Copies of this chain bind each other. A is one copy, B any other.
Amino acid sequence: MGNIDPWGSKEVVIDENLIKKFGLTKFSDSDRKKFNHYLFKRKIILAHRDFNKISDCLSGKKQFIQLTGIASSGLLHLGHKVDIDIFLYFKKLGAKSYFVVSDIDAYLSRPDSKIPSLEKAKEFAINNIAHLLALGLNKKDIYLQSKKEPRYYEFAFEISKKITENTFRAIYGHLDLGKLSANLLQYADILHPQLKEFNKPMPSITGIGIEQDPHARACRDIARRLPYKLQLPSFIYFSHQSALQLGKKMSASEPDSAIFLDDNKEDIKRKINKAYSGGRESLKEHKKLGGIPENDKAFEILLYHHPNSNFIQKVHDQYKNGKLSTGELKSICKEFLIEMLSKHQRKLKRTEKIAEKIVLI
């Protein structure tokens, strides 16, 4: 466990071993067909812990909670968009939906060199919330961590009595007190909607990266120790979209590693042109051997974000058999991103005003 860092930005390769090691369950092909969202179909959501509870709720039309969040420690990139897409999907399926924008967490868990003050985290929160609203979230779906009911904070403090120093150190390998507090808030985020002051105990689902599973297990352990008869929260695990360069993870702290939701036409063109590709040394060789879509960052963007699975299949096959060149694939990707993001960005002017009100008033 010690070599998986929940705050790091190293690429985490999700393989059968990791799923087995953490005791997760892979989604089967028949599971995947039940959920009409491409993130399941394309194996981007690939494993879970206790998802059957949520399936039961869905088939029995019973209430369940979803909680997702982002720490407002930077600008949003395409990697965040995946979390937001699945949030909107479960909301459509009827989940009681909570999206936390974690400004306190962002300040506490990041070094001062990155987030020097709560004020800075709130600046990012305005930006992040504006994007969430533009992507289709409702004002009521979102809460800012620093503007909750007192019961929420009391609950976060209450949790501190339910974990020991040694447990924390075993999970995280350190005992940074700011990060400890950030974790208390994260546990409270996931569990508080089940309290009687908010709803009642019921199944809940949270999507996370597989490297955050230590949090998930700690959170379930805490749920067991609290006196509120909480249901153990369920989790689904995403495969992270990788960086535009080879062997990295998209990260808000490395601007060139990702396409950001604020990027303009020129940014997109430049970044995709420079992105690592699965093409061959020469066009001649490419036509002969075919490209490698699995290694191609432009293809990966389509895989994670383009809504049309048939189209992606076609692009995949044509690239693989060499009919589609790297330049052509990049053009498809750029065109797709420019259309999607410019449409998205047109909404920001309106949503920024709402976001400012949420954070500042």
Say yes or no: B161 contacts A108, CB within 8 Å. yes
Number of copies of chain A assembled together:
2
Say yes or no: B177 contacts A157, CB within 8 Å. no
Contact of A104 among B118, B148, B158, B175 (CB under 8 A): B158
Chain B positions within 8 Å of A335 at CB level: none
Alpha-carbon gap, A201 to B180, bound state (A): 28
Judge whether A60 is part of the interface by a CB distance below 8 angstroms.
no
Judge whether A107 is part of the interface by a CB distance below 8 angstroms.
yes
Say yes or no: A175 contacts B181, CB within 8 Å. no
Say yes or no: A157 contacts B104, CB within 8 Å. yes
Say yes or no: B108 contacts A157, CB within 8 Å. yes
Say yes or no: B181 contacts A157, CB within 8 Å. yes
Contact of A107 among B104, B158, B168 (CB under 8 A): B158
Instruction: Please encode chain A, from 159 to 176, with 1 for each CB lying within 8 Å of some chain B CB and 0 for all others.
Output: 011011100100000011
Judge whether A353 is part of the interface by a CB distance below 8 angstroms.
no
Judge whether A185 is part of the interface by a CB distance below 8 angstroms.
yes
Say yes or no: A150 contacts B146, CB within 8 Å. yes
Known interface pairs A165-B177, A177-B180, A227-B117; A108-B160 also in contact (CB < 8 Å): yes
Chain B positions within 8 Å of A177 at CB level: 160-161, 163-165, 168, 180
List A128-186 residues whose CB lies under 8 Å from chain B.
Answer: 146-148, 150-151, 153-154, 156-158, 160-161, 163-165, 168, 175-178, 180-181, 184-185
List A83-127 residues whose CB lies under 8 Å from chain B.
Answer: 104, 107-108, 112, 117-118
Chain B positions within 8 Å of A147 at CB level: 150
Can you name 23 A-B pairs with beta carbons within 8 Å?
A104-B154, A104-B157, A104-B158, A107-B158, A108-B158, A108-B160, A108-B161, A112-B161, A118-B154, A118-B158, A150-B153, A153-B153, A153-B156, A160-B178, A160-B181, A161-B178, A163-B177, A164-B177, A165-B176, A168-B177, A177-B180, A180-B180, A181-B184
